[in-house]
């Protein structure tokens, strides 16, 4: 930030040079490209790709790049600060039941809740949605619809209540359902697709042996065939996605899984590294350096398939990292930003009406901020249960505070950091995977391929702040 008059006269330097005085700290990053390195101002997430033989020219304070950057730096600071601290909740992960018919190896909801927890009645669910509607009417700009994502445990166990809620409030919210897919029959699919509801499914493999090794019911039976048949039925529906949770069990098959998704015409896939909040997940967490060769090969594979068929399979979690580099404000998922979106851009509602910063905290003692049936949502968002999460910043975490890619990664996830280390000021579980993803993203940009990995229309309403091509 530009120093004020008093600071100029008695304190800081003018900030005109990089890396000294009050100037920005610019970090060079080797991105593994034959011609280019990256120059990044980590505080603003400003970056530039430099030809390796032009590094010295770029740091020259009088270069076009530095001149332009110094001119725009305050606006970059404002943009990143707004994204990090200026957003209001506009979405809710709504858990209508604590129960689940599955017992996946890495689930973050405690077993006893999933086996025999509480479930909302239709009246309770309708009443909770009315309260949320009233809250968002007061907090969101007119005309902006908040999102409700029915989430798990398994929301389709409360199907009648969920569908009644969707019918009653279809003009008030944008609805989505995140489901394991095992309970979706013809009637449910037809209802959800005819209402245009977003559908998120989960499947961890391209064949039964792999998929069923992590996702199975309490008797150990898997549902690869059932979920695949749902995916077949959804072919051509534009508003669904498939999450593959990446573990030691499936990492060697990620490229096959990409083929499988593409063949089924899945529009958006996710290859989400397993969240290590609970012991079962930690036992199947791959080592980052062992995972990355498979992971990058799977990303390469999406590109090969696109070039061969003209049809994209966007891997949304990677695309989000890529877009956070290309246009920070255009990102859609809010895990890779610090503070993350939990409790800030969205919050979670449990089946008793309790509010948590994110579904990841539903089973973690100390993160229940209060109950929406007998408390005030605005006040609940200000409780310590929420502030502990919304106040977690990369600046207070080692080694993130000195990491050049900290605003492309965000050091997720607070729930993971807390559960593994008992405190928030630690990185989450996949630091090196993030480093690699950002390098991969910058290589794509250097080669002009970034659009091939992003969803169509990602750059609507996005403008270019600095365009210097001479270096």
Under the binding rule (CB under 6 A), the answer on residue 21 touching ligand SF4 is no
Q: Rounded to whole angstroms, how far apart are CA atoms 162 and 167?
A: 9
Q: Which stretch binds ligand SF4 (CB under 6 A): 55-63, 163-171, 312-320, 339-347?
A: 339-347
Q: Rounded to whole angstroms, how far apart are CA atoms 96 and 236?
A: 28
Instruction: State in angstroms the smallest separation of the CB of 91 from ligand SF4.
Output: 11
For residue 399, say if its preceding peptide bond is cis, omega within 30 degrees of 0: yes
Pick from 100, 274, 403, 442 the residue near ligand SF4 by CB under 6 A.
403
Q: Which stretch binds ligand SF4 (CB under 6 A): 118-126, 158-166, 183-191, 403-411?
A: 403-411
Would you say 385 or 405 has its CB closer to ligand SF4? Answer: 405
Beta strands in 110-259 (DSSP E): 147-150, 174-178, 198-202, 240-246
DSSP 264-318: TT-SEEEEEEPP-SSHHHHTTPPPHHHHHHHHHHHHHHHHHHHHHHS---EEHHH
Pick from 340, 355, 372, 380 the residue near ligand SF4 by CB under 6 A.
340
For residue 76, say if its preceding peptide bond is cis, omega within 30 degrees of 0: no
Would you say 259 or 416 has its CB closer to ligand SF4? Answer: 416
DSSP 404-433: TTHHHH----HHHHHHHHSSSSS--S-HHH
Q: Rounded to whole angstroms, how far apart are CA atoms 259 and 92?
A: 32
* Residue 34 vs residues 28, 39, 52, 53, 351: alpha-carbon distances, Å: 15, 15, 9, 11, 53
Contacts with ligand SF4, 409-428, as mask; x by CB under 6 A: x-xxxxx-----------x-
Instruction: State in angstroms the smallest separation of the CB of 416 from ligand SF4.
Output: 7
Contacts with ligand SF4, 100-119, as mask; x by CB under 6 A: --------------------
Angle formed by the axes of helices 316-326 and 431-446, to 10°? Answer: 60
Under the binding rule (CB under 6 A), the answer on residue 192 touching ligand SF4 is no
Instruction: State in angstroms the smallest separation of the CB of 38 from ligand SF4.
Output: 14
Terminal Cα-to-Cα distance of the chain (whole angstroms): 25
Would you say 66 or 113 has its CB closer to ligand SF4? Answer: 113
Pick from 251, 271, 322, 335 the residue near ligand SF4 by CB under 6 A.
335
Q: Which residues lie below 8 Å from residue 470, measured CB to CB, with a gap of 6+?
A: 64
Q: Which stretch binds ligand SF4 (CB under 6 A): 212-220, 221-229, 245-253, 399-407?
A: 399-407
Instruction: State in angstroms the smallest separation of the CB of 63 from ligand SF4.
Output: 27
Under the binding rule (CB under 6 A), the answer on residue 358 touching ligand SF4 is yes
Binding site for ligand SF4 (CB under 6 A): 334-335, 340-342, 358, 360, 394, 399-400, 403, 405-406, 409, 411-415, 427, 431, 434-435
């Amino acid at each position: 930030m530009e120093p004020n008059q008093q600071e100029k006269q008695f304190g800081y330097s003018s900030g005109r040079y990089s890396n000294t005085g009050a100037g920005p700290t610019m970090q060079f990053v080797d991105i593994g490209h034959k011609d280019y390195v990256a120059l990044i101002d980590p505080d603003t997430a400003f970056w530039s790709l430099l030809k390796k033989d032009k590094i010295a020219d770029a740091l020259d304070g009088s270069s076009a790049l530095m001149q332009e950057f110094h001119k725009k730096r305050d606006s970059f600071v404002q943009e990143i600060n707004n994204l990090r601290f200026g957003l209001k909740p506009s979405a809710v992960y709504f858990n209508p039941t604590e129960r689940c018919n599955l017992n996946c190896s890495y689930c973050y909801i405690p077993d006893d809740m999933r086996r025999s927890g509480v479930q909302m009645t239709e009246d309770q669910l309708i009443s909770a949605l009315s309260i949320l509607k009233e809250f968002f009417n007061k907090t969101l700009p007119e005309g902006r619809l908040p999102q409700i994502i029915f989430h798990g445990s398994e929301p389709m166990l409360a199907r009648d209540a969920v569908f009644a809620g969707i019918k009653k409030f279809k003009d008030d919210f944008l609805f989505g359902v995140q489901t394991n897919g095992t309970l979706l029959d013809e009637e449910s699919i037809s209802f959800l697709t005819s209402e245009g509801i977003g559908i998120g499914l989960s499947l961890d493999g391209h064949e039964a042996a792999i998929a069923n090794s992590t996702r199975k019911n309490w008797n150990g039976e898997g549902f690869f065939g059932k979920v695949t048949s749902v995916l077949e039925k959804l072919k051509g529906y534009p508003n669904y996605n498939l999450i593959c949770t990446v573990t030691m069990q499936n990492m060697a098959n990620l490229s096959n899984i990409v083929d499988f998704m593409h063949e089924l015409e899945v529009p958006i896939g996710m290859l989400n590294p397993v969240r290590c909040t609970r012991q079962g997940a930690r036992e199947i967490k791959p080592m980052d350096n062992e995972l990355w060769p498979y992971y990058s090969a799977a990303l390469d594979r999406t590109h090969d398939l696109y070039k061969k068929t003209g049809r994209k399979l966007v891997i949304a979690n990677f695309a989000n990292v890529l877009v956070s580099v290309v246009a920070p404000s255009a990102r859609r998922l809010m895990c890779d930003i610090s503070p993350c979106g939990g409790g800030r851009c969205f919050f979670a509602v449990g089946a008793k009406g309790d509010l948590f910063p994110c579904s990841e905290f539903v089973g973690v003692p100390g993160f229940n901020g209060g109950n929406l049936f007998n408390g005030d949502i605005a006040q609940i968002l200000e409780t310590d249960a929420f502030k502990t999460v919304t106040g977690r910043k990369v600046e207070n975490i080692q080694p993130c505070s000195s990491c050049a890619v900290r605003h492309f990664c965000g050091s997720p996830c607070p729930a993971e950091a807390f559960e593994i280390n008992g405190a928030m000021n630690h990185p989450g579980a996949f630091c090196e995977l993030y480093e690699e993803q950002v390098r991969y993203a910058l290589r794509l940009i250097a080669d002009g391929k970034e659009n091939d990995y992003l969803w169509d229309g990602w750059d609507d309403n996005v403008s270019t702040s600095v365009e210097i091509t001479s270096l």
